[in-house]
Amino acid sequence: MADPVLIDDPDDDRIADFVRLKDPDLRRQRASSHGAAGRSFIAEGAKVIRSLLASRYPVRALLLTPLRWEGLRAALGEVKAPVYVASQEIVNQVSGFPLHRGALASADRLPLDSLDEVCVGARLVVATEGVNDHENLGALFRSAAAFGVDAVLLDPTSCDPLYRRCVRVSMGHVLHVPFTRLPAGATGIAALQALGFEVLALTPAADAIDVGTLTRGERPRAVLLGAEGPGLSAAALGQADLRVRIPMVDGVDSLNVTTAGAIVMHELSRL
């Protein structure tokens, strides 16, 4: 690793990857500038950056406060990307918000693997429909890592798993749990079934099967999780092989998708 470069100007072009991270227009502009595989994403915080360094994603650059540089210096020994060091004030001005974690890294995206490639040898996968909250998706990836889920499969209406907030909430696990995009709607579910998966749709409906009563199956399983609020579409519920529920006391009709997903992943991983 080369010596760190001191930055004293928030308009320095060398740190353009980190400018105005909360600006949605700038984010969309970056997203469309190089194509899906070439555009960059952001890892925030020392722990997440350590996870990035252990992943297959190529690091482009780092922007650190002096304190975070000292803490990460040893971990950055083999990194070829430039390391920029700036005061907390400069880092805040560049990022556009008070970045208390004091550490940012940008990395290149990689081309998505095909559904077939991601699912080779998988026994348990999670598939999302319309999960468009980055924090919810990040928490689902963290649970997927904790319970040994083999892959997360995202329909076209689910949000970007490599958005900064999603990467942070996942504690960097999104960088290690395989993921790809499913075809939309019935086509995606049919693709999973064609690969031999038994598709389980999670619903609070009283006539669904208690997930705790399931036994080990011969087929691999895919758990469908819907968006916060509306849940899974009627089409997804109708096409799934089984509808499953988490039993709850009277008066509670549902759980946050991240909590529900964690419970189901835990139950099925034990099988």
What's the rounded mean pLDDT across residues 187-204?
A: 97
Q: Sign of the CA dihedral 238, 243, 249, 255?
A: negative
Q: What pLDDT does residue 26 have?
A: 66
* Domain boundaries, given as residue ranges, for the chain: 5-108, 115-269
State the residue for tokens 């319970």: 147
Q: How many Å is the maximal CA-CA distance in the chain?
A: 63
Q: What pLDDT does residue 32 have?
A: 52
Contact 71, 65 (CB under 8 A): no
Contact 228, 263 (CB under 8 A): no
Of the candidates 114, 264, 251, 130, the one whose C-alpha atom is nearest the C-alpha of residue 201 is 264
Q: Does domain 5-108 have CATH number 3.30.1330.30?
A: yes
CB neighbourhood size of 59 (10 A): 21
Q: What pLDDT does residue 35 have?
A: 44
Q: How confident is the model at residue 223 (pLDDT cuts 50, 70, 90)?
A: very high
Q: Sign of the CA dihedral 140, 142, 143, 147?
A: positive
Mean pLDDT of the chain: 92
C-alpha–C-alpha distance, residues 96 and 23, integer Å: 8
C-alpha–C-alpha distance, residues 41 and 21, integer Å: 10
Q: What pLDDT does residue 261 have?
A: 97
Superfamily in which the 115-269 domain is placed by CATH: SPOUT methyltransferase, trefoil knot domain (3.40.1280.10)
34 pLDDT more than 50:
no
73: left (phi over 0), alpha (psi -120 to 50) or beta: alpha
